[in-house]
Amino acid sequence: MVFKIKSPANIAFVKYWGQKDHQNTLPFNDSFSMNLSNCYTELEFEVLEDVLIREMEIREFKATEYKKATEAEMNKVLHFYTNAKEFLKVTHDIGFRIKSSNSFPKKAGIASSASFFSALALAFAHAFKKELSQKELSILARLSGSGSASRSIPDGFVWWHAGSDSESSFAESIATANEWDIVDMVLVLSGQEKKVSSADGHILATTSPYYVKRQEQLPTILDTIKTAFQNKDFTAFGTAVEQEAINFHSILMTQQPPLYFWSNKTIPCIKDIVNQRQNGLEGYFTIDAGENVHLLCQKKDITSFENYFKAQDYVEDIIINYACEGAKVV
Ligand code: PMV
């Protein structure tokens, strides 16, 4: 049996950082995100009778050829395979051959682990012929070790409930993709891979002296952003999302050892977004665990922003995303 899966990355308006249970990838806080229509992973999954064959090839962003996955990459897949079997309550094994390709640079703050592991969660469920609800699939995706993968399962705009245990920590859609045509314009400043993974970063989040303060503030931040979203109040929404991004990075920069994901291109880029806004072109930034910048804007302003940022020599690529459906067998 061979089948294909397509699954999007997502950008969190309110980010999850820090885990109360590393084994089960249980976050301290709820998070809220949007699936990204043009940043996705496509998996071709072949189920094999020979259980000794477990292989994966990856085609990176802009590469023309597939390359064998590294041992570290393969180990993560195999670890997830073991968790998936347990979750799906299957006792038999399968062999598999995976071909994975990405429409965007990986490990650069554009949630490549979310798109990949959500796709793989759906692939394992499909390969073992299990029909899961979206809630169950999002839990399974979370058990990959990439928590944000759970948010790439449901459609459109997605809320991940932190929950108190594995059963209650799941993601669900709170609005369909066409509910609001806001745009996430990813300004790719560099396709370079980051040196510290989010998984390693989460473990040390609570070493920041500001971590407790962030957790205290988060219920209000989540509420403000959700209300602005529901009212389609772009100014209130963008303002709060931008502040939340700085709040999030202030934890990263003050945990021990600190994580400085920004590069010398990130600051000019965010300053330009702020300047453009002061000149009447309304956009807001958010930055994930990487140096690249996500510019949130309204559909009517795409061309103006695109023309402006194409002319900046610190921008390597621009990827325009709308909200979209979650992981699907295609
Ligand atoms: O998906 P993980 O468990 O590797 O964590 C990544 C979390 C962030 O991308 C940094 C923030 C978020 O909520 O998307």
Residue whose CA lies nearest to ligand 1 atom number 4: 146
Residue 15 Cα, ligand 1 centroid: separation in angstroms?
Answer: 7
Tokens for 26, please give them.
Answer: 């249980």
How far is residue 158's CA from residue 152's CA, in Å, rounded to a whole number? 8
Please state the pTM of the whole predicted model. 0.97
What are the Cα distances from residue 269, in Å, to 171, 263, 264? 31, 10, 9
Tokens for 123, please give them.
Answer: 């692939």
Ligand 1: residue of 7, 10, 148 to mutate (most ligand atoms within 8 A of CB) is 148
Residue 46 φ/ψ, nearest 5 degrees: -110, 120
**What was the pLDDT predicted at 52?**
96
pLDDT in tens, 55-77: 999 999 989 999 999 999 999 99
Residue 200 Cα, ligand 1 centroid: separation in angstroms?
Answer: 11
Count of CB atoms within 10 A of residue 2's CB?
10
Per DSSP, helices labelled H in 231-286 are 234-254, 266-278
Band of the pLDDT at 258, cuts 50, 70, 90? very high
Ligand 1: residue of 10, 14, 17, 115 to mutate (most ligand atoms within 8 A of CB) is 17
What is the arithmetic mean of pLDDT over 140-156?
Answer: 98
Band of the pLDDT at 122, cuts 50, 70, 90? very high
Residue whose CA lies nearest to ligand 1 atom number 10: 289
Ligand 1: residue of 198, 200, 202, 204 to mutate (most ligand atoms within 8 A of CB) is 198
Query: Looking at residue 222, what DSSP letter applies?
Result: H
How far is residue 172's CA from residue 111's CA, in Å, rounded to a whole number? 18
Determine the atom of ligand 1 nearest the C-alpha atom of 25.
3
Who lines ligand 1 at CB under 6 A? 12, 15-16, 31, 111, 113-114, 146-148, 198-199, 288-289
pLDDT in tens, 73-115: 999 999 999 999 999 999 999 999 999 999 998 877 788 899 9
pLDDT of residue 330 exceeding 80, the answer is yes
In one-letter notation, the amino acid at residue 197 is S
Determine the atom of ligand 1 nearest the C-alpha atom of 149.
1
Determine the atom of ligand 1 nearest the C-alpha atom of 11.
14
Count of CB atoms within 10 A of residue 267's CB?
12
Biggest CA-to-CA distance, the chain: 62
Beta bridge partners of 2: 46
> What is the average pLDDT value for the chain, to the nearest integer?
97
Residue 27 Cα, ligand 1 centroid: separation in angstroms?
Answer: 10
What are the Cα distances from residue 216, in Å, to 19, 57, 130, 208, 320? 15, 43, 39, 14, 34
**What was the pLDDT predicted at 322?**
98
How far is residue 145's CA from residue 219's CA, in Å, rounded to a whole number? 24
Band of the pLDDT at 194, cuts 50, 70, 90? confident
How many CA within 13 A on the CB side of residue 81?
Answer: 19
Determine the atom of ligand 1 nearest the C-alpha atom of 145.
3
Determine the atom of ligand 1 nearest the C-alpha atom of 19.
3
